[in-house]
Amino acid sequence: MQKVFPRAVLGLVFMGSIHARPQAQQPQAQQTPPAAAAAATDAVSVTPTIAGGTIKGTVKAGTIPLPGVSVTATNTLTGKKYATTTDVTGAFAMAIPRNGRYVVKTELAAFAIETKEVLINAASENGGKPNQIADFTMQLASRVQQQENSNRDSKVPRRARWQERLDAVCSH
């Protein structure tokens, strides 16, 4: 026991001297008067950076909730993607760790893809909020295609279509 004790004390003294050296080499900080310190603190306020938030919402077809819909949020600047799926009630929620502009996309087989843009900003700056709500109403892809075809035909006035047919018949 006597041999161990002197070595342990020597080791502690040696380790203490190693730890004491960097402190002794550091320059002494200048003392600032309390009034000057308070003014400096007021001029430069240090706030912790809070980033990120959540995107919540529901996905429905009309009034019927859609379970199992793939929901992805893609940061428009970095391309980083976050994904989740809707639950039985058609609801989803995803934690987004970074502030930014995100394109939220919903996908389900036989349904047309829907997208929305949200701005996540934990400090509520630039119109962004830490918690965003993105509700989606999806339509069957076949119905969307029918509507697009119908809209394309309706953009051409009826008289013009009639005139085109008449010209085609008369030119023969």
Going by C-alpha positions, the residue among 46, 76, 71, 48 that lies closest to residue 60 is: 71
For residue 30, give the DSSP letter: P
- The runs of H, that is alpha helices, within the chain are 4-25, 34-43, 141-155, 158-170
The amino acid at 27 = P
- Which band of pLDDT confidence, cut at 50, 70 and 90, is reported for residue 143? confident
> pLDDT digits over 4-41, tens only?
545 544 444 444 444 444 444 444 555 555 555 555 55
Contact criterion met (CB below 8 Å) for 117 and 103: yes
> pLDDT digits over 35-53, tens only?
555 555 554 455 556 688 9
* H or E element at residue 126: none
Contact criterion met (CB below 8 Å) for 90 and 71: no
Q: List the CATH code of the domain at 53-144.
A: 2.60.40.10
Predicted local confidence at residue 51, as pLDDT: 84
What ranges do the domains of the chain cover?
53-144
- Which band of pLDDT confidence, cut at 50, 70 and 90, is reported for residue 69? very high
Measured between alpha carbons, how far is residue 156 from residues 87, 162, 166, 171 in Å?
Answer: 43, 10, 15, 21
Predicted local confidence at residue 157, as pLDDT: 60
Residue with tokens 């793939």: 70
Question: What is d(CA 114, CA 129) in angstroms, rounded to the nearest whole number?
Answer: 22
